Amino acid sequence: AALTYSSYSLADPLVIAHRGASGYLPEHTLEAKAMAYAMKPDYIEQDVVMTKDDQLVVLHDHYLDRVTDVAERYPDRARADGRYYAIDFTLAEIQGLRLTEGFNIDQDGNKVAGYPDRFPLWKSSFTVPTLAEEIELIQGLNKTLGYNIGIYPEIKAPWFHRHEGKDISKALLKVLKEYGYDSKDDKAFVQCFDPIELKRINDELMPAMKMDLNLVQLMAYTDWNETMVYQGKDATPYNYDWMFEKGGMAKVAQYADGIGPWKPMLVDDKSTKDNLIILPLMKEAKSAGLVVHPYTFRADEGRIAPYADNFDDMLDVFYHKVKVDG
Ligand code: G3P
Ligand code: CA
């Protein structure tokens, strides 16, 4: 059924800076996080992966080759699939890499910036930050300026870390506890795409560590898993189909406080500002008591063309906007 815009309008949307001010500076750099902070979001997001020596770094991919010069610096350290995995490098090695805008390799082997009109490739000395460094930046600014800007870490590729013998979730909880995030009252959400891992965090890890953080179940479509391979084999155990079925959201609510769906999962393509067609998932989530933090709002996003012109209005609908996002 079609619902009107005003039915879901909220005056004070939540703002989460996705990968920092990634619309302006290379994603997940401390520079992008400081700029995001200056825009006063409610939360700043961190994607988290592990190093060979069990440190947590803030990086979107569990490999280093999309945003750093790892291939030039360590040409012999790629795995068979040609990727350079963070888990094969120590923190010191990773911190010695140069980071730049995300790039693609063209057919002549040249690196081409993903955002060619934005920040020039390799012109600055950006680096990969640790999670601790980023939290210290945010908490330091909170103290200096008197705000309470939160953190929104995402556990990346737990399946991969598991196969490599690492417990990334446990390592993350340890760091969060060390920095004072241990209850639902603390300004932090932990998000993950893997329902099995989130359930484990909620049912086992957090009780054992006397922690009770807010958890968000990120949602994708099951067939997106095709891209997740491990040493040439499909190793991805996630299945999201059950979340879209009736009662699925109530099941999620048993271990999580909210969902992070891809935004088109909530609103029909034919929706306009005045006539939003809210898909059943949103209603199910709300009645299960889950907060809904969809990803990702971008001013320049062409994929969701019907929303692009009035995206500021749309953001109110979902009480979650990412105006600082790229
Ligand atoms: O918060 C959701 C969003 O961050 C998930 O997508 O790929 O940007 O980490 P991604
Ligand atoms: Ca993320």
The CATH number covering residue 202 comes to 3.20.20.190
pLDDT of residue 227: 54
Question: Does 246 reside within a domain?
Answer: yes
pLDDT in tens, 122-141: 777 899 999 999 999 999 99
Question: Does 98 reside within a domain?
Answer: no
- Phi and psi, residue 260, nearest 5°: -125, 80
Question: Does 95 reside within a domain?
Answer: no
Residue of minimum CA distance from atom 7 in ligand 1? 60
Q: Which of 8-17, 160-169, 314-323 has the lowest mean pLDDT?
A: 314-323
**C-alpha–C-alpha distance, residues 25 and 118, integer Å:** 8
Question: Does 185 reside within a domain?
Answer: yes
Q: Please give the distance, rounded to the nearest whole angstrom, from the Cα atom of residue 4 to the centre of ligand 2.
A: 30
Question: Does 171 reside within a domain?
Answer: yes
Helices (H), the chain: 30-38, 70-73, 91-95, 131-145, 158-163, 168-178, 195-200, 206-208, 241-244, 248-253, 280-287, 305-308, 311-317
**C-alpha–C-alpha distance, residues 256 and 137, integer Å:** 28
Cα dihedral value 312, 316, 318, 320, nearest 10: 70
Question: Does 134 reside within a domain?
Answer: yes
Residue of minimum CA distance from atom 1 in ligand 1? 295
Q: Can you give the residue range of the structural domain that contains 139?
A: 3-59+127-321
Q: Active-site residue numbers? A: 18, 60
Q: How many domains does the chain have?
A: 1
Question: Does 7 reside within a domain?
Answer: yes
CB count within 10 Å of CB 38 equals 12
Mean pLDDT of the chain: 83
Question: Does 104 reside within a domain?
Answer: no
Residue of minimum CA distance from atom 2 in ligand 1? 295
- pLDDT tier, 3 (very low <50, low <70, confident <90, very high otherwise): very low
- Rank 13-27, 195-209, 300-314 by mean pLDDT and report only the highest: 195-209
pLDDT of residue 249: 96
Q: Is the ipTM of this complex over 0.95?
A: yes
Q: Which atom of ligand 1 is nearest to the CA of 191?
A: 1
Q: Which of 52-61, 254-263, 315-324 has the lowest mean pLDDT?
A: 315-324
